[in-house]
A = this chain, B = another copy of it.
Amino acid sequence: MSETLDLTEVLSRLLRAERILLLCHKNPDGDTLGSAAALYHALKKLGKEQVAVLCADLIPARYDYMQMERFTGQFEPGYVVAVDVASIQLFGDAVREYAERVDLCIDHHASNAGYADALYLDAEASATAEIIFQLVEKMGIELDPLIADCIYTGISTDTGCFLFGNTTARCHEVAARLMQAGAHVRDLNLVLFETKSRARLAIESIALSHLEYHFDDRCAMIYMTREQIESTGVEASDLEGLTSLPRQIEGVEVGITLRQLPSGSYKISVRTMPGVDACAICTRLGGGGHAQAAGCELMGGLDNAKQAILAEVERELCRES
């Protein structure tokens, strides 16, 4: 297990570090990228000359405004920091070389596996970016509009724009501070939450035509095969938002979204109402996440994947009721 640090010690190690490599998780979301980018800019402000960000997967172009330098081997990393990465599997094979030598992990997932040498974990934080906000405050550097944009991206995406159960008074306080610091909240919200591609609308329409109900309508499920995904031309990152859809239906306690990956296996997203543990469902299938939002990946065809996840959903619903 990792050595547990407090925020003062995190800062002290970062101040001593040189040639800092920041690692994100695969299928990067706004929080892992926003946290990495905010930390990147903060470290540059502290005078670190060599800092760069690495992610196994392509970073979607809509995050270009974060302006972080990508790691392409331009230096030999002296200190490796993972942000928002709960387990070593979540790095992706392309960055395995560095994933196995993480000096420090900063995370808000209670399920963090403790794979790093040292860990700063705050499971009360809505997003890892909320921790980065505290860290930036502690650094005593100016919260400029760019850093504010990066932190806002992390907090807003992980809370579904202040919608999900992880939203706290502190989230709102930080958001107010970020807006005062010049975060371009209107532009960011338009990009992050209010833009759907035509392809996204098309796949949404297909997914809705597949809507299935299980266990007395307590569970709703949608799925997308690779063929359907490719027929619409929708991007992987575009599919993320769909995962909230089945749980939103009145009376539904567990919403399941299955989407086939290029490898043929199924990525499964589980969203639950309070009282049903999404993380428990996914952990038993080798995945993980939060109490109301978790995920896993299952090999085999659609029917196998459905059966496996439904069996675990049933087990959880029986346990709860």
Contact = CB atoms under 8 A, between A and B. Distances in A.
A244 interface: yes
A205 B205 CA distance: 7
A59 interface: no
Interface string A186-221: 100110011111100100110011010000000000
A186 B165 contact: yes
Given A194-B248, A248-B196, A179 B186 contact: no
Contacts of A162: 161-162, 175
A274 interface: yes
A248 B195 contact: yes
Contacts of A118: none
Contact of A176 (B161, B169, B194, B209): B169
Most buried by B among A163, A244, A247: A163
A244 B163 contact: no
Interface residues of A, number: 39
Interface string A155-189: 00000011111011110110111011000011001
B249 A196 contact: yes
B170 A176 contact: yes
A217 to B, nearest CB: 9
A185 B172 CA distance: 12
A227 interface: no
Interface string A241-276: 000100111100000000000000000000001100
Interface in A262-304: 273-274
A167 B189 CA distance: 10
Contact of A172 (B179, B196, B208): B179
Contacts of A161: 161-163
Majority-rule SS of A interface residues: helix
A133 to B, nearest CB: 13
A8 to B, nearest CB: 25
A249 B163 contact: no
A201 B208 contact: yes
Contacts of A186: 165, 167, 274
A164 B205 CA distance: 25
Contacts of A165: 186
A70 to B, nearest CB: 25
Interface string A228-244: 00000000000000001
Contacts of A177: 169
Nearest to A183: B169
Nearest to A180: B169
Q: What 5 A-B pairs come out closest when comparing CB atoms?
A: A169-B179, A172-B176, A172-B175, A169-B176, A172-B172
27 contacts: A161-B161, A161-B162, A162-B175, A163-B193, A164-B189, A165-B186, A168-B179, A169-B175, A169-B176, A169-B177, A169-B179, A170-B176, A172-B173, A172-B175, A172-B176, A176-B176, A186-B274, A194-B247, A194-B248, A195-B248, A195-B250, A196-B248, A196-B250, A198-B249, A201-B208, A201-B211, A205-B209
